[in-house]
Amino acid sequence: MIQFHDVHKSFGARTVLDGFTLTIPDGQTTVLMGFSGSGKSVTLKHIVGLLEPDAGRVLVDGASVGDLEYDGLMRLRARIGFVFQFAALFDSLSVYDNLALGLRRQELPPEEISRRVAESLRLVELSGSEERFPAELSGGMRKRVGIARAIALNPRYILYDEPTTGLDPVTTAAMDELMLRARRELGATSVVVTHDVRSAFAVGDRIAFLHQGRIRLAGTVGEVRETADPLVRAFIEGRPAMGERV
């Protein structure tokens, strides 16, 4: 389980998280929605310790991320797969090595690494791409390799940062299916950051709406779909939020 307790985070004079509190239950997909620049990706980076809160605590499986020593943080990261917005593949490495890098760090035998790489690429339907380099892949393929890199670690948690941003509708639907399949086959707890409403409804069990540094609304997909909150309704329906400060 991942818990945020009254987390505050600022960058200079700009407050991004302002008393952010949220519990992400195990075994489900929680979607974090909100306007652009609302702090969704910042929230995600707190879970793996890429950012530290100015105040408050982030707990993963009961351990406070900010209080972990180096080894503890490395062990925590080994349990989490992170899918970056623009994939963040290592340019100088082939697809195989991109996937194998984290597995080598876990000191798995070479046969096991090969098996896991092949299995992960099969899951994202990119078998046979092992020798290609990121520069040779389309945007959608890069994102799929990014997902494959995350799931190759067989993680307990998978964090997706804007997985469908910049993709055409068909590829977006394929990515949604991929996230659902990854959860089905791995049973991992997923956190998806997105402002793509259709995608959120397709992959989420629960949705939390982040606004002005804190959770404005959290509930099941059905609850959020039926909400009367004018700001969230405006977001879902894709129309201007009259009278609300975005």
Partner 1 sequence: MSGVREFFVLSGRWVIEGRRALAQGKIWRPLLFAQMRKLGVDSIPVAVFVAVFTGIVLALLSSYMFTRAIPLYFVGTLVTKAVMLELGPVLTGMALAGRVGANVAAELGTMRVTEQVDALETLAISPHAYLVTPRVIAAILMFPVVTAVAMAVGVLSGWFTAVNLLDLSSVEFLRGARQFYNFKDIWFGLVKSASFGGVVATMGCFQGLSARGGAEGVGHATTRAVVLGCQAILVLDAFWALVLL
111 lies in the binding site for partner 1 (CB under 8 A): no
Contacts of residue 90, defined as CB under 8 A and 6 or more positions apart, other chains included, come to 97, 98, 101, 134
How many whole angstroms separate alpha carbon 112 and alpha carbon 99? 12
Q: How far is the CB of 78 from partner 1 (least distance, A)?
A: 5
Q: What is the dihedral of CA 214, 176, 117, 184, to 10 degrees?
A: 90
Q: Which residue in the set 17, 31, 65, 89 belongs to the binding site for partner 1 (CB under 8 A)? A: 89
116 lies in the binding site for partner 1 (CB under 8 A): no
Q: Which residue in the set 69, 91, 111, 237 belongs to the binding site for partner 1 (CB under 8 A)? A: 91
User: Which residue, 90 or 177, has its beta carbon nearer to partner 1?
Assistant: 90
Site string for partner 1, 51-70 (x = CB under 8 A): -------------------x
Residue carrying structure tokens 């964090």: 159
Cβ of 73: how many Cβ atoms within 10 Å? 16
Q: How far is the CB of 161 from partner 1 (least distance, A)?
A: 9
| Stretch near partner 1 under the rule CB under 8 A, chosen from 17-25, 78-86, 193-201, 231-239 | 78-86
Name the helix (H) or strand (E) containing 194. Answer: strand 189-194
Q: What is the dihedral of CA 81, 86, 92, 94, to 10 degrees?
A: 60
Q: Which residue in the set 52, 54, 55, 75 belongs to the binding site for partner 1 (CB under 8 A)? A: 75
How many whole angstroms separate alpha carbon 98 and alpha carbon 39? 28
**Which positions lie near partner 1, rule CB under 8 A?**
45, 48-50, 70, 74-75, 77-78, 80-82, 84-86, 88-91, 101-102, 105-107, 149, 153
